A and B are shown apart, each in its own frame.
Chain A
Amino acid sequence: AQSVTQLDSHVSVSEGTPVLLRCNYSSSYSPSLFWYVQHPNKGLQLLLKYTSAATLVKGINGFEAEFKKSETSFHLTKPSAHMSDAAEYFCVVSDSNFNKFYFGSGTKLNVKP
């Protein structure tokens, strides 16, 4: 069975410092993995997607994520946080063999001035 765990419900960083949002998954197959961002009162927007082409995936707004199969992780990082990064972030794992996908419970990122 597939599942996805976002290890932190809230993360707080200072502007200009690195961001790390953690995501672990369990999968019996080679999954596709996604990160989405949700700003207040908005829908989710795709940040980046992993589909086995390269383990380090670059997304929009300076975010990137690294797929580590041995650790079953897909953590989201950004070298320097900006105030506009304050939002909620969702990790999603999909299993194309069964056309199923699973959302994590979300991590709220707070960026302090």
Chain B
Amino acid sequence: NAGVTQTPKFQVLKTGQSMTLQCAQDMNHNSMYWYRQDPGMGLRLIYYSASEGTTDKGEVPNGYNVSRLNKREFSLRLESAAPSQTSVYFCASSEEGAQGSYSNQPQHFGDGTRLSIL
């Protein structure tokens, strides 16, 4: 029962390098999310995908792109990494609620990717 799987778990990049963080869920959930967590700032939503084929910006999308590859997979790409993007990144997924709602559904989180950019 894997739930939400994130790869890699740790990564160190140099400024300007690119990287894709992978996320896959095996719960047949419609909605998927990418967050970053920084000390004292809680979780901030980067991008989300309410359903397969759609993606939308969250609170802090600048410097990131996403791809909803299929229902299971949702990847986050840093095209040109910057030290300000040093953070812990979490992927989450949730079921679809009544009438297409998703915000009132519990989210299931992966264990995170710890990313350092030098």
Contacts and interface: CB of A to CB of B under 8 A. Distances in A.
Interface of A: 9, 32, 34, 41-46, 49, 51, 90, 94-96, 98-101, 103-106
Contacts, number: 50
- The bracket for how many chain B residues form the interface is 20 to 34
B104 interface: yes
Interface of B: 4, 40-44, 50, 90, 92, 97, 101-104, 106-112
B103 A45 contact: no
A43 B3 CA distance: 11
Given A90-B43, A95-B103, A43 B97 contact: no
Contacts of B90: 43-44
Given A43-B112, A90-B42, A101 B103 contact: yes
Contacts of B44: 103
Given A34-B106, A43-B110, 7 more contacts: A9-B40, A42-B111, A43-B92, A44-B92, A45-B109, A46-B108, A101-B103
Nearest to B109: A43
A10 to B, nearest CB: 11
Contacts of B40: 9, 105
B111 A99 contact: no
Given A41-B112, A43-B90, A96 B97 contact: yes
B22 to A, nearest CB: 15
B101 A96 contact: yes
B107 A99 contact: no
A99 B50 contact: yes
